[in-house]
Amino acid sequence: MAGTVLLLGTFDTKGHEYAFVRDRLRELDVAVLLVDTGILDPAGVEPDVARGAVADAGGARVEELASAGDRGAAVEAMARGAPVLVRRLFDEGRFDGILALGGSGGTSIATAAMRDLPVGVPKLMVSTMAAGDTRPYVGATDLTMMASVVDIAGVNSVSARIMTNAAGAIAGMVGARAPDLAHRKVIAATMFGVTTPCVTRARELLDEFGYEVLVFHATGTGGQAMEVLASDGYLAGVLDITTTELADDLIGGVLSAGPDRLEAAGRSGIPQVVSLGALDMVNFGPRDTVPERFEQRRLYVHNPTVTLMRTTPEECAELGRRTGRKLSAARGPTVLFVPLRGVSMIDVEGQPFHDPAADRALIEGVRETLDGSVEVHELDTDINDERFATAMARRLHELVTETI
């Protein structure tokens, strides 16, 4: 047997389609666990876990959802319950991978459950929504979406091929075995183009110290993914050089990682060494996509698809205060490194975002809210100076070594 796949979906409307996929998986010698997230009696397939258990896990009663006739409320309730129930089944060792089929409602329910599973667990969503903006469904996980091409409404010559491909894909995923690599402690680092020299030098040094370094591009999903790994216990330490996503969250840029950015490592007690990388900028798309209210601001066309906006002293002060509060709440060893001569490649003297007043406001904001539990190093360099990168990497190595 190649493993067990959990088939998660609304069996009242798509039971025959799920029966088709179940049979394809069994032909591939894959066991199947069927979990129903519909609210009416299933048709075409009998679930192993009934819809009532999913509703109960979300604090609802399936009978009440059915009688109310409110589809939106039903989707919301099942999207609450599915992650709880599916995670419980995974923790019990009941399945090795998960597959679902759906339109917008079914995709919302199933992907909510998939996002709650650890990185590395195979997750495949066949969806009518896969050809558009998938970020709300994928989040920061390793969830794979497959476009259904046609609506998932019956088994026809097109849907049969798509669903057969999906069965083969998830079977391959659960049967695949990752090679054994030399075990090294894992460090996460955050990087942007304007902090690349710093991260590159720090990564090289940490590699010499024997760590495996995962570098995350600070594009919103990158920061979120790093924080998921921190919460899931994958990381021995975090080198959070580039916290620029905080600026997009505060001001309304396109690369926000959400309001909880810079909290997961501290909440998990993981050693973290942090800096203020690229807090001099907010990110937008092409120049003509910058909101009109920002037209009078200092803008810099980084490339044809990215336009940067300089943060003001007032915004920098608030970013500093938020950084200080988040770091002060950390439960584990936390160190802040402050570059006094620029927080990015274009924030140094002679570059377009050089603004000593804004940088001073950022640093003063940090000092205002940072408590004595956080170790602080202020260096008279810019962030990309090799001395700055080396100091950060060495201090993180010391912290991780001390916690062993």
Per-residue pLDDT, averaged over 64-78, amounts to 91
Rounded to an integer, what distance in angstroms lies between the CA atom of residue 274 and that of residue 189? Answer: 10
For 214-250, give the DSSP string: EEEE-SSHHHHHHHHHHHTT--SEEEE---THHHHHH
Per the model's pLDDT, the better-predicted residue between 177 and 4 turns out to be 4
pLDDT of residue 297: 96
pLDDT of residue 388: 98
pLDDT of residue 270: 96
Q: Is the pLDDT of residue 1 over 80?
A: no
pLDDT of residue 255: 95
H or E element, residue 101: strand 97-102
**Residue 20 sits in the same domain as residue 74:** yes
CB-based contact 399:335 (threshold 8 Å): yes
**Residue 146 sits in the same domain as residue 193:** no
Q: Is the pLDDT of residue 181 over 70?
A: no
Q: Is the pLDDT of residue 404 over 80?
A: no
Residue at a domain's end among 122, 141, 175: 175
Nearest residue to 243 via CA among 269, 281, 297, 294: 281
**Residue 69 sits in the same domain as residue 213:** no
How many distinct structural domains can be found in the chain? 2
**Residue 167 sits in the same domain as residue 193:** no
Tell me the pLDDT tens digit for each residue of 14-33. 999 999 999 999 999 999 99
Rounded to an integer, what distance in angstroms lies between the CA atom of residue 118 and that of residue 104? Answer: 23
In a domain, 180, yes or no: no
**Residue 65 sits in the same domain as residue 95:** yes
Rounded to an integer, what distance in angstroms lies between the CA atom of residue 339 and that of residue 107? Answer: 45
Structural domain boundaries, residue 68? 4-175
The gap from C-alpha 46 to its chain's centroid, in whole angstroms, comes to 34
On average, the pLDDT of the chain sits at 95
Tell me the pLDDT tens digit for each residue of 244-303. 999 999 999 999 999 999 999 999 999 999 999 999 999 999 999 999 999 999 999 998
